Structure 1
């Protein structure tokens, strides 16, 4: 499955979840908006943190969504690489495997 397919599948799954538990997903969306718009860190920095966590917890759908956000925010491959290096340092071998997936995702989404 391509990373674009992963994004499409994830969005479809989230739409179904939104229809089933709209109050919960709306509240979660409001939390995300408040976190991303408030505070002292820039959006891109916050997305770097989210990517590191996505890699550490081994969530491919999360990796795809946060890489997509980082591409839109203008993150370079080198910046993503730095985040992945730190994630590997904190998460060891399993993080390395998902860091490789994250870099593959970045490369796939920036080829378009």
Structure 2
């Protein structure tokens, strides 16, 4: 599955889950939007933080979504690669494996000019 399909799968899956637990999913998305709003940190910087955490905790769907959203918020591939490096510092070998997934997502999304 490519990262575009993975992104759609994650988002559709969360939407389907919302049919069973609508309050929880609505609350999650409210939190998501509020936490990522521009403030002392820009949305782009917050997406990079979220990406580093996603890599360190090994959440493939989160990696795909936060790479796509970081790029959309104006992060550069170079900023994402440095973020991957910080995640590897904090998460070790497993983070290197998941960091490579983030690299693949960057290449795919940038190649498609998302």
Distance in 2 (CA, whole Å) between partners of 1:37 and 1:71 is 15
User: Are residue 51 (structure 1) and residue 55 (structure 2) matched?
Assistant: no
Using the size of structure 2 for normalisation, the TM-score is 0.92
Equivalent position of 1:63 in the other structure: 63
Distance in 2 (CA, whole Å) between partners of 1:7 and 1:38 is 23
Q: Secondary structure at the match of 1:40?
A: coil
Distance in 2 (CA, whole Å) between partners of 1:95 and 1:40 is 28
Deviations along 1:25-59, whole A, 9 cap, x unmatched?
11111112221226411111110110001001111
Aligned residues: 112
Name segments (4+ residues, structure 1) moved above 4 Å.
none
Gaps of 5+ in 1: none
